[in-house]
């Protein structure tokens, strides 16, 4: 394998390349958001263009929709597709139960809706996202703009009675203004350090008025594909209880690196 990609991009790329092997003709595919998911969209686009693979893609953000169209994937809305065969997305953290923290890229709401509406969710990742306990990565919580300061205070107050180490939140910014999601909402990032009970935390956070959704994905992910910089790929399947390994070979002449 040879490439000018950085080690981290190589890991993301090989995870993406392996994950798109799971996609078959006729499938309706949820397309995640983020730098790893972008590799997956490019790899899928390559299969569409070169093999004539026929799929419909449901993007989880305007960014992903734009890239998917650019690489030749037929884009449909979730309302058109209704239910999906598989969603492939990145993650900010995953644990041994394949519970996830997502939303670092700000698309957690559409990502959770799309992944939940899929028969299977596959996460693609480099090995840095694998953790023993979720929570070192700040947990994104999407809140509506109305009364956001009250919602943030309520979130912090609620954390005091939960099994987490940190209790502070910060409003995500985009320069001098609050970050705005595709749904017109804001995001508060919760600095928890360690989450003792992700399932309980997820349920409690979603009870707070003003909270639309949180970035914990509990019992949603079925497989994780972990890429390594040398091209090695691990596939963990939580339902089958399997852990397989393989090697992805690729050449830097691949169209993926030049034509997008
Ligand atoms: C976007 C997400 C991303 O999947 C997550 O942030 C990982 O991103 P990247 O692949 O760029 O590390 O949840 O909302």
β-strands 139-143, 168-171 pairing? unpaired
Q: Please indicate, yes or no, whether residues 190 and 223 belong to a single structural domain of this protein.
A: no
- Pocket of ligand 1 contains residue 125 by CB under 6 Å: no
Q: Please indicate, yes or no, whether residues 153 and 244 belong to a single structural domain of this protein.
A: no
Judge whether 134 lies within some domain.
Answer: no
159 Cα–ligand 1 center, Å? 24
Q: Is the pLDDT of residue 93 over 80?
A: yes
Judge whether 251 lies within some domain.
Answer: yes
Identify the pLDDT of residue 256: 65
232 Cα–ligand 1 center, Å? 21
109 Cα–ligand 1 center, Å? 12
Q: Is the pLDDT of residue 2 over 70?
A: no
- Pocket of ligand 1 contains residue 138 by CB under 6 Å: no
- Select the more confidently predicted residue: 231 or 257: 231
Judge whether 91 lies within some domain.
Answer: yes
Which of 111, 142, 213, 234 is the catalytic position? Answer: 111
Q: Is the pLDDT of residue 260 over 90?
A: no
Q: Counting atoms of ligand 1 from 1, which one is nearest the CA of 104?
A: 6
Judge whether 232 lies within some domain.
Answer: yes
Q: What would the mean pLDDT of 108-136 be, rounded to a whole number?
A: 98
Please, what is the average pLDDT of the chain? 95
Identify the pLDDT of residue 4: 80
Q: Please indicate, yes or no, whether residues 183 and 229 belong to a single structural domain of this protein.
A: no
- Pocket of ligand 1 contains residue 106 by CB under 6 Å: yes
Q: Please indicate, yes or no, whether residues 92 and 165 belong to a single structural domain of this protein.
A: no
- CATH number at 234 reads 3.40.50.1360
Judge whether 34 lies within some domain.
Answer: yes
- Pocket of ligand 1 contains residue 40 by CB under 6 Å: no
- Pocket of ligand 1 contains residue 32 by CB under 6 Å: yes
Identify the pLDDT of residue 252: 57
Judge whether 233 lies within some domain.
Answer: yes
Nearest CA to 200 out of 253, 249, 158 is that of 158
Q: Please indicate, yes or no, whether residues 20 and 124 belong to a single structural domain of this protein.
A: yes
Q: Please indicate, yes or no, whether residues 224 and 210 belong to a single structural domain of this protein.
A: no
65 Cα–ligand 1 center, Å? 15
Cα 187 from Cα 104, distance rounded (Å):
10
**Nearest residue by C-alpha to atom 4 in ligand 1:** 90
Q: Please indicate, yes or no, whether residues 124 and 228 belong to a single structural domain of this protein.
A: yes
Judge whether 179 lies within some domain.
Answer: yes
Rounded to 10 degrees, the C-alpha dihedral 67/71/73/78 comes to 0
The verdict on whether 111 is a catalytic residue reads yes
Burial 105-114 (b: 16+ CB within 10 A, else e): bbbbbbbbeb
Percentage with pLDDT > 90 across the chain: 93
Q: Is the pLDDT of residue 251 over 80?
A: no
- Pocket of ligand 1 contains residue 33 by CB under 6 Å: yes
Q: Please indicate, yes or no, whether residues 108 and 224 belong to a single structural domain of this protein.
A: yes
Q: Is the pLDDT of residue 244 over 80?
A: yes
Q: Please indicate, yes or no, whether residues 160 and 124 belong to a single structural domain of this protein.
A: no
- CATH number at 169 reads 3.30.70.260
Q: Please indicate, yes or no, whether residues 104 and 231 belong to a single structural domain of this protein.
A: yes
Burial 34-43 (b: 16+ CB within 10 A, else e): bebbbbbbbb
Q: Please indicate, yes or no, whether residues 42 and 59 belong to a single structural domain of this protein.
A: yes
Judge whether 64 lies within some domain.
Answer: yes
pLDDT band at residue 250 under the 50/70/90 scheme: confident
Q: Is the pLDDT of residue 8 over 70?
A: yes
Q: State if pTM tops 0.75.
A: yes
- The domain of 178 spans 139-214
Identify the pLDDT of residue 249: 86
Q: What would the mean pLDDT of 100-109 be, rounded to a whole number?
A: 98
Q: Please indicate, yes or no, whether residues 98 and 54 belong to a single structural domain of this protein.
A: yes
Q: Is the pLDDT of residue 259 over 70?
A: no
pLDDT digits (tens, 9 = 90+) for 44-68: 999 999 999 999 999 999 999 999 9
Domain count, the chain: 2
Of 12, 16, 41, 105, the one to substitute when testing ligand 1's pocket (max ligand atoms within 8 A of C-beta) is: 105
34 Cα–ligand 1 center, Å? 4
Q: What would the mean pLDDT of 127-154 be, rounded to a whole number?
A: 98
Q: Can you spell out the DSSP letters for 189-213?
A: EEE-S-BS-HHHHHHHHTTSTTEEE
Q: Is the pLDDT of residue 125 over 70?
A: yes
Token digits for 210? 């003003």
pLDDT digits (tens, 9 = 90+) for 31-45: 999 999 999 999 999
């Amino acid at each position: 394998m040879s490439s000018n990609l950085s080690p981290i991009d190589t890991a993301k790329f090989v995870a993406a390349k392996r994950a798109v092997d799971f996609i078959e003709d006729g499938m309706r595919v949820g397309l995640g958001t983020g730098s790893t998911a972008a590799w997956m969209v490019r790899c899928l686009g390559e299969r569409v263009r070169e093999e004539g693979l026929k799929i419909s893609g449901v993007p989880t953000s305007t960014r992903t929709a734009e890239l998917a169209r650019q690489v030749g994937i037929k884009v449909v809305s979730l309302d058109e597709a209704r239910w999906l065969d598989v969603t492939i997305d990145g993650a900010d953290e995953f644990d041994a139960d394949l519970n996830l923290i997502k939303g670092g890229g700000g698309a957690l709401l559409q990502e959770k809706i799309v992944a939940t509406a899929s028969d299977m969710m596959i996460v693609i990742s480099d090995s840095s996202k694998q953790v023993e306990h979720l929570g070192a990565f700040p947990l994104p919580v999407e809140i509506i703009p109305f009364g956001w300061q009250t919602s943030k205070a309520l979130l912090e107050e609620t954390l005091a009675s939960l099994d987490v180490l940190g209790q502070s939140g910060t409003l995500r910014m985009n320069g001098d203004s609050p970050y705005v999601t595709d749904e017109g909402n804001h995001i508060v990032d919760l600095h928890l350090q360690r989450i003792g009970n992700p399932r309980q935390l997820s349920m409690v956070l979603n009870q707070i008025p003003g909270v639309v959704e949180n970035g914990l994905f509990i019992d949603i992910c079925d497989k994780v594909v972990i890429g390594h910089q040398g091209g090695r790929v691990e596939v963990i399947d939580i339902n089958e209880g399997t852990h397989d390994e393989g090697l992805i070979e690729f050449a830097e002449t691949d169209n993926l690196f030049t034509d997008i």
